[in-house]
Amino acid sequence: MLEAIDLSRPPMLAPTSLVLHPGQLTGVIGPNGAGKTTLLKALAGLSRGQGHVRLDGQPFVPHPRRLAWLPASRDSVWPMPASALVQLGLGPAAAPDPAAVAAALAACDATALAHRPVSQLSTGERARILLARAIVARPAWLILDEPIANLDPGHRLDVMALLADEAARGCGAVLALHDLDLARRCERLLLIVGGVVVCDGPPEFVLAPGILATYFGIRRDNHGFQRI
């Protein structure tokens, strides 16, 4: 159980308390600048703001097997091979674990990229390598900022399926996303607007037409979403 107690970072995030449950896929949606990244970072224990995070009743202490944080940035400075980058996800000075690295790469459909320098990959390919880095230590919690941005439609579905699998094995997965169709695959959605979680519940509740109209200014018709 991941508890957020009075997390806040004015003006991006108003005081927020949440309880997240393991084995559940939670989506965080909201317009640009709403505070999704700020909330996720705070949940990952990386905020310089107020409040604190408790993991299973204990104050949160970072560890590769406890919680993985995936930032939205796809930057990579050093042209290291993809497999070496994934290995780093096992933690500083961790013993090389080629089996775990290969499994993580396979789960992200990136086995063929293992020996390529990450700097030469496309943004979408790099996104999959970075996701493999996040899951390689099989952490109890995954906090992922826009893991499916930059991915092609097929790989978006793959990643959503992968996260559902991770949740099924007991992992708590939280991801920010903009794709409201894929957001329906989450068991729980948090809608954040202006630094405040305004809606929290199952997708059919949070993605109701009235809420989409009010907070995103969109409606759905036969051709998909339309601007109101």
95 binds other proteins (CB under 8 A): no
Cβ–Cβ < 8 Å for 48, 95 = no
45 binds other proteins (CB under 8 A): yes
Tracing tokens 């290291």 back to the chain, one arrives at 80
Q: Which of 32, 57, 58, 93 binds other proteins (CB under 8 A)?
A: 93
- Among 59-67, 120-128, 190-198, 214-222, the segment contacting other proteins (CB under 8 A): 59-67
2 binds other proteins (CB under 8 A): no
**Shortest reach from residue 180's CB to other proteins, in Å:** 27
74 binds other proteins (CB under 8 A): no
Q: Which of 9, 36, 41, 128 binds other proteins (CB under 8 A)?
A: 41
Give the DSSP letter string of 36-100: HHHHHHHHTT--SSEEEEEETTEE----TTTEEEE-S-----S--BHHHHHHHTT-TTPPP-HHH
**Shortest reach from residue 66's CB to other proteins, in Å:** 9
67 binds other proteins (CB under 8 A): yes
Cα separation, 49 vs 66, in Å, equals 21
Cα separation, 54 vs 62, in Å, equals 11
80 binds other proteins (CB under 8 A): yes
Angle at 6 between CA 166 and CA 137, to 5 degrees: 25
Contact residues for 17 (Cβ-Cβ < 8 A; gap 6+): 3, 4, 5, 6, 7
Other CB atoms within a 10 A radius of the CB of residue 156 amount to 19
- Among 26-34, 81-89, 150-158, 210-218, the segment contacting other proteins (CB under 8 A): 81-89
Q: Which of 68, 100, 107, 132 binds other proteins (CB under 8 A)?
A: 68
What is the phi/psi pair of residue 199, to 5°? Answer: -140, 140
40 binds other proteins (CB under 8 A): no
99 binds other proteins (CB under 8 A): no
Using DSSP, state whether 21 is helix, strand or coil. Answer: coil
Q: Which of 59, 92, 154, 224 binds other proteins (CB under 8 A)?
A: 92
Other CB atoms within a 10 A radius of the CB of residue 39 amount to 28
Site string for other proteins, 129-158 (x = CB under 8 A): ----x-------------------------
Residue ranges that bind other proteins, judged by CB under 8 A: 41, 44-46, 61-64, 67-71, 73, 75-81, 84-85, 88-89, 91-93, 117, 133
